[in-house]
Every structure is written in C-alpha cells, then in structure tokens.
C-alpha cells in the first residue's frame, strides 16, 4: 500500500456531503435570481468550485481569478497578488466568490474590495475551510464548509509547493 506523507483530516465522503449541502443552502438563499456569476479563486478552489457548481440549482456563469500570497512558504506573505480580475464584468451581477480556505483573511478581504469596485448587485463569499484562530483582519464568509484548527492542510485543490492538489480528501501535512 502507498503511504502518504499526510494524515487525513476530512474524508472524500464528508467533503462530498458537505459540498452538496452548501450548494443546497446557496441555491435556496439565491432562488429566483436570473444568473449567478461564480468567481473561482485559482488555484486552490478549482476542485471545490467544480463540485459545488454541479450541485447548484441556479443558472450560472463561471469565471476565474488568480490570487497568490503564499509563495513557496507556509505562512502568508501578507502581500496578495491578483490576476484576471479586471477582465470579468461584474457590474449589476449577483456574485458568489468561491475560495479554498480563509486563514488570516487578507486574501479574501483584498479580493472582495477589488471586485466591489465593479458594483455587483450582490456579493457572497463561500470558503470551503476556515481557520478562525488565524484571523488578522476582520472577515467572515457567508458560507463555510468546515471550521478547522490551525494546521497546514493539503488536498482537494490545496497544495504544498504545488503538490497534493489531486488528493480527493483534506489532509494535514506531516513534515
Ligand atoms: P489568508 O490571506 O486568508 O491568510 O490566506 C488565504 C490563502 O492562503 C488561501 O487561499 C490559501 O491559498 C493559503 N492558505 C492558507 N492556509 C492554508 C493551508 O492550511 N493550506 C494551504 N495549502 N494553503 C493555505
Ligand atoms: Mg486560495
Ligand atoms: Mg497555495
């Protein structure tokens, strides 16, 4: 058997159950809107977004932006680099921003501030994971999949130096 350099924190089954639940909650809350613009924050949220949108019962448009702050380390540099956000038209649109993990809160507060300059009709944030103990700026997501303790996690889209994104579960990195 292959031994993985990580310890499982959230199984593939629990992820799938919770993602379907989140999609139901979002679909209920936004019922009746003509179009939802889903903005996936690359790279970490690519798998979560792909699973989430397949459970939404709303007409969707899917867009991608890129945010990078970590570089190759394990702690946020504090500087958030955004790409592709200017090319998406959000004025008057209902927006759902989908992110992998809310940690210090710097990335999401920066992204929300940028996107709000385009005056969307509404903006909601959905984060798969939340590490509230690490927050350094005031920020809460409208929808959160799982609240987790302060561990560096990988899998289901999340990486450590670009590795482990393909794992179907969330794991704590053993280092
Ligand atoms: P924040 O700006 O909230 O501190 O950090 C958010 C970003 O840092 C996330 O989008 C993610 O890219 C990265 N990040 C924060 N915590 C973790 C973690 O435990 N594992 C991984 N792989 N990335 C993390
Ligand atoms: Mg991210
Ligand atoms: Mg990363």
Question: For 29-72, what is each residue's pLDDT tens digit?
Answer: 999 999 999 999 999 999 999 999 999 999 999 999 999 875 55
Q: Is residue 127 pLDDT above 80, yes or no?
A: yes
Which amino acid residue places its CA nearest to atom 10 of ligand 1? 101
Tell me, in angstroms, the distance from the centre of ligand 3 to residue 161's CA: 7
The tally of domains found in the chain comes to 1
Strands 153-154 and 170-173: antiparallel
In a domain, 167, yes or no: no
The pTM for the full model equals 0.93
Look up the ipTM and state it.
0.95
Identify the CA nearest to 87 among candidates 39, 49, 33. 39
Contact 85, 113 (CB under 8 A): no
Distance 120 CA to ligand 1 centre (A): 25
Surface-to-core class of residue 111, CB atoms within 10 Å of its CB (0-12 exposed, 13-18 middle, 19+ buried) = buried
Residue 82 belongs to some domain of the structure: yes
* Residue 77 pLDDT exceeds 80: no
Give the nearest ligand 1 atom to 139 CA.
Answer: 3
Q: Which residues does the annotation mark as catalytic? A: 103
28 CA from centroid of ligand 3 (Å): 31
Nearest CA to ligand 1 atom 12: 44
**Domain limits for position 65:** 15-162
On average, the pLDDT of the chain sits at 93
Task: Return the residue matching tokens 């190759």.
Answer: 72
**Which is more confident, 72 or 127?**
127
**Does position 82 have pLDDT exceeding 60, yes or no?**
yes
Helix-helix angle 46-53:12-29, to 10 degrees: 60
**Contact predicate 124/95, CB 8 Å:** yes
**Mutational test site, ligand 1, from 80, 81, 107, max ligand atoms within 8 Å of CB:** 107
Ligand 1 interacting residues, C-beta cut-off 6 A: 44, 69-70, 76, 99-107, 152-154, 158-160
Q: Which residues are bridge partners to 170 per DSSP?
A: 10
CATH of the domain at 154: 3.40.50.2020
**DSSP tag of 9:** E
Kindly state whether residue 175 falls inside one of the protein's structural domains: no
Q: How confident is the model at residue 98 (pLDDT cuts 50, 70, 90)?
A: very high
């Amino acid at each position: 058997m292959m031994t993985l350099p990580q310890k499982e924190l959230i199984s593939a089954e629990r992820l799938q159950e919770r993602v379907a639940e989140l999609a139901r909650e979002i679909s209920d809350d936004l019922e009746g809107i003509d179009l939802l613009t889903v903005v996936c924050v690359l790279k970490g949220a690519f798998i979560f977004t792909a699973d989430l949108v397949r459970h939404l019962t709303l007409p969707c448009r899917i867009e991608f932006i890129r945010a990078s702050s970590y570089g190759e380390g394990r702690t946020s540099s504090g500087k958030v680099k955004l790409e592709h956000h200017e090319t998406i038209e959000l004025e008057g649109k209902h927006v759902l921003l989908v992110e992998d993990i809310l940690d210090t809160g710097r990335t999401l507060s920066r992204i929300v501030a940028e996107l709000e300059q385009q005056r969307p009709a509404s903006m909601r944030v959905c984060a798969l994971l939340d590490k509230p103990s690490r927050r350094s700026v005031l920020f809460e997501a409208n929808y959160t999949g799982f609240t987790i303790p302060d561990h560096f996690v990988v899998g289901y889209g999340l990486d450590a130096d670009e590795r482990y994104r393909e794992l179907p579960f969330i794991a704590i990195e053993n280092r």
